[in-house]
Homo-oligomer: A and B are copies of this chain.
Amino acid sequence: MTRTPEDPISFTQTALSRVRADAPLVQCITNSVVVNFTANAMLALGASPAMADIPQEAGAFASIASGLLINLGTPRAEQREAMTEAAVAANTAGTPWVLDPVAIGSMPVRTPFSYQLRDLRPTIIRGNASEVIALAGDGAGGRGVDATDDVETALPAATALAAQTGSVVAVSGPVDLVTNGTSAVRIANGSPLLTQVTGGGCALGAVMAAFAAVDEDRLSTTIAAIMVYTIAAELAAEKSTGPGSFAVGFIDALAAIDGDAIAQRAAIL
């Protein structure tokens, strides 16, 4: 792919086609709450998810996967061991990987553990403002899984984190922010209903890993993932009568979204 971030809509359309054509194998080591929703989101998108999350297998799988998600939502001891193994193997194999440091800040196990993973230099880091601030080392984190900080407040932390790790950093919120440390892009698509479905943010991390599998321009693939995901949310919200029907419609929308919807609705700032 030769398109550049300067042409994000066209890039996103092409990247989505690539995901559907390649069906990238995306390993998801994620939390027990969202694992089903995440797998279904991946299948709807056209990717091939595999939830290989036990020691000895996690590393082997990360070596052959096209992308990897590590999500700290419910990090059991055995899963933490698998996460480290997978991140190391991904780095060795050149597999792009996404770190989602769910609810870090004051939580005494996952917070120091997230710093270890951060220092393994994830390809992409995704979190809400409080999580990104905490991962950058200069905040106390949020309240459970909810951000108590504003997205724009997290810009300095996101920029510093990107500079420190070489990661693309994405901050989720009403307007999503993505930075590689030098450029910052904002995407204003989405629906508040996405925050009323558990895994609304977590599954996005897996989608970012799927898009990262099809192009090495990870700033652009991260933007593409967010656009596809949040525009699908808009399509679903228009047909839903509450968070239950929205979640179902969102999976349908991820399967149905096409280049026209992306072109018509993209709200990149």
Q: List residues of A whose CB falls within 8 A of some B CB.
A: 25, 31-37, 39-40, 43-44, 48-57, 60-61, 65, 73-78, 103, 106-110, 143-146, 195-199, 240-245, 247-253, 255-256
Q: Tell whether A76 pairs with B78 under 8 Å between CB atoms, given A109-B56, A196-B44, A196-B255.
A: yes
Question: Is B255 a contact partner of A40 (Cβ separation < 8 A)?
Answer: no
Name the B residues within 8 Å of A146 (CB-CB).
Answer: 48
A sample of 14 inter-chain contacts (CB < 8 A) reads: A40-B247, A44-B242, A48-B144, A51-B74, A54-B76, A54-B77, A55-B109, A56-B108, A242-B251, A242-B252, A243-B251, A244-B251, A244-B255, A245-B251
Partner of A197, one of B40, B48, B54: B40
Q: Which of A50, A199, A256 has the most CB of B within 10 A?
A: A50
Partner of A54, one of B74, B255, B256: B74
* 10 additional contacts (CB under 8 A) given A49-B198, A243-B251, A245-B252: A25-B143, A33-B35, A34-B36, A43-B196, A50-B145, A51-B74, A52-B103, A241-B256, A245-B251, A247-B248
Partner of A107, one of B61, B106, B107: B61
CA distance A36 to B143 in the complex (A): 20
Name the B residues within 8 Å of A55 (CB-CB).
Answer: 109
CA distance A52 to B106 in the complex (A): 12
Q: Which of A39, A244, A249, A255 has the most CB of B within 10 A?
A: A244
Name the B residues within 8 Å of A143 (CB-CB).
Answer: 25, 48
CB distance from A57 to the nearest CB of B (A): 5
Question: Is A252 a contact partner of B248 (Cβ separation < 8 A)?
Answer: no
CB distance from A18 to the nearest CB of B (A): 18
Partner of A51, one of B51, B52, B73: B73
CA distance A74 to B29 in the complex (A): 10
